[in-house]
Structures are given as C-alpha cells and as structure tokens.
Amino acid sequence: MGLLDKIMNSIFNETKKVVDNAIPGGKKPESAPAQPKPAQQAQQTAAPVQAAPAADPDAERIYDEDGSYVFNDTFNRDTAYFRNILFKNFGDYGIEENVSVSRFDPSAHPKCTPVTFLLTKDGRKYAFYVIALNKTNGMPYRGAKKVLDAAGIRHIHCIPCYKNEESYVVNRIKSIL
C-alpha cells in the first residue's frame, strides 16, 4: 500500500467516524470487518514490513508509516548563511544589516521589525528579511512592511527553518530587483 493509499484510508476512516457519531441516537454498531482482497491477504500473511520514516536531512518533512508527517527542523539557517549568499551573488549591491525602519519613517512604531538586509544600488533600496515562522503575522513585521510599502521599498522574506537552498534564495531576491 502506497503512501497516498494510506493517507486516503486515514481520511476515509476519520470521515466515517465523524458521520457515525453525528447520527441521532448514538453511534452505529460496528459492522464486521470487510474481507481483504487476495493481494492484501498475501501481504498480510507475509512478514510485516515496518516502513521507516524518511531520514533524509534535506527533506522538508519526515513521513511516518501512517502517512502523517512531522516538520524537519534540521535546517535552521542562521543569518550568516544568508549573508554569505548575498555577498556571493549580489556583491555589486550595497548591503547593510539590521536596519531600523524608523530610518524610512521617523514616526514608525519602535517595535517594528528591523530589516535584516538592505540592498542598495543606483539609489534603489530592497529589503530582505530573515524572519522566524511564528513572527510573520504579528504587528512588528506587518508594521515594518507597511512602512517599507509607503517608502516604495520592495521587500521579501525567507524563513530560516525551511530548506532555503542558495538558488532558491537568489531567485527570491531577484524577483524583487
């Protein structure tokens, strides 16, 4: 049984439980288990094979045998990783680090997230954020984005716990240049 079949069976079983519990008068009596198909009988009589979770450190997700997954938090790229990519691929740009958004709007809220990297070329400015996954929806980041939008500064972000291969980061930055 493939991963997709396991996922579909899991979804079907959960849906069936919800429907059965929604019937007035309580839960329906359990019916006898269906007879397995001949191919399944042969698979059941063979020695059980345990599917090992994916252990590939480059995988974004690690899949368990039941088809569920846990997030692979092995990447955790630090700011130095992104700094190296910027200097390697965008060396002709001026690169400033940890720039306060109050530089673009003096009345900006003091808790606004500072720009991780500010790229400058020919008088044009581009902001690149390296920001944690749980920080992308809060007021500090959203407020900073509003300030940058009002100042006409294009911006993009990368989340350091994702894979963020060099080519991906370069293409994301090129998309705002």
pLDDT exceeds cutoff 70 at 31: no
Burial of 151 (0-12, 13-18, 19+ CB in 10 A): middle
Provide the pLDDT for residue 69.
Answer: 55
Mean of the per-residue pLDDT values of the chain: 79
Count Cβ atoms below 10 Å from residue 86 Cβ, excluding itself.
19
**Contact between 86 and 117 (Cβ < 8 Å):** yes
Average pLDDT over residues 9-22: 75
pTM for the whole thing? 0.59
Q: Name the band, by pLDDT with cuts 50, 70 and 90, for residue 52.
A: very low
Tallying the residues shown for the chain, one arrives at: 177
Q: What pLDDT is stored for residue 24 in this prediction?
A: 61
Give dist(CA 104, CA 106) in Å, integer. 7
What percentage of the chain has pLDDT greater than the value 70? Answer: 69
- 84 token code pair: 């190296």
Mean pLDDT of 61-75: 60
Whether residue 140 has pLDDT greater than 90? yes
Predicted confidence at residue 11, as pLDDT, reads: 82
The residues near 31 (Cβ < 8 Å, ≥ 6 apart) are none
pLDDT, residue 25, reads 56
Cα separations (Å) of 94 from 3, 14, 98, 113, 123? 48, 55, 13, 20, 10
Helices and strands, counts by H and E, the chain:
5, 6
b/e 31-66 (16+ beta carbons within 10 angstroms → b): eeeeeeeeeeeeeeeeeeeeeeeeeeeeeeebbeee
Q: Alpha-carbon distance 115 to 156, whole Å?
A: 10
